[in-house]
Amino acid sequence: MKKRIANLLVKFLLLADSDRKSNLFNILRKESLNKTYNGYREKYSLSNTFRFNGIDILFYGSGDIICGENSYIGNYSTIQASENNKVVIGDNCAISHNVRIYTASNVSNQNLNSAGLKQKIEGDVVIGNGVWIGANVFINQAVTIGDNAVVGSNSVVTKSIEANAIYGGVPAKLIKMKSYE
């Protein structure tokens, strides 16, 4: 049966115009992404309203990933949760494209030119409620980002960020505290 379907698809593709080929490709890609993202929902604790807002988003690791209500993550982003660690994303968070969040990394002060196990530095990453993380941000292990904070695009977050703060840069530094009228 699978072989017959495959043969029909090949014939369709050979005879189809470019628009139909493009449509078929988009349908197959969307189905593949849905299957991947549904697998993440089964493996990790993701709210029903958490959105995968794009393509090629990767969640991996044997730790916990917990995502709150009405939050989303954009294209090409990655979350890694190593064993015994977790990534928590609060409610109403906007995580842009190409964001990297890791709970473990190699210790740099060791011989990395060996086949053996490397020493790791590990820690949970906790992102509070109402946080906005710009595009191309890297978030290191053992970092907490407080409620209502903003991390500017192209930043590297190596230390925790307090609530209601705007941070940016490499490494990320306080730009200013938010003010409300």
DSSP structural state of residue 161: B
Domain of 13 in residue numbering reads as 1-43
Are both 34 and 95 inside the same structural domain? no
pTM of the model: 0.85
| pLDDT tens, position by position, 135-156 | 999 999 999 999 999 999 999 9
Task: Kindly state whether residues 5 and 79 are assigned to the same domain.
Answer: no
Which tens digit of pLDDT belongs to each residue from 69-95? 999 999 999 999 999 999 999 999 999
Together in a domain, 102 and 170: yes
Asked if residue 16 has pLDDT above 80, the reply is no
> Are residue 25 and residue 51 in the same domain, yes or no?
no
| CATH for 150 | 2.160.10.10
- My answer on whether 50 and 106 are in the same domain is yes
The count of domains in the chain is 2
Both 16 and 50 in one domain: the answer is: no
Measured over the CA atoms of residue 38, residue 154, residue 121 and residue 160, the dihedral's sign is negative
Q: Between 179 and 142, where is the model more confident?
A: 142
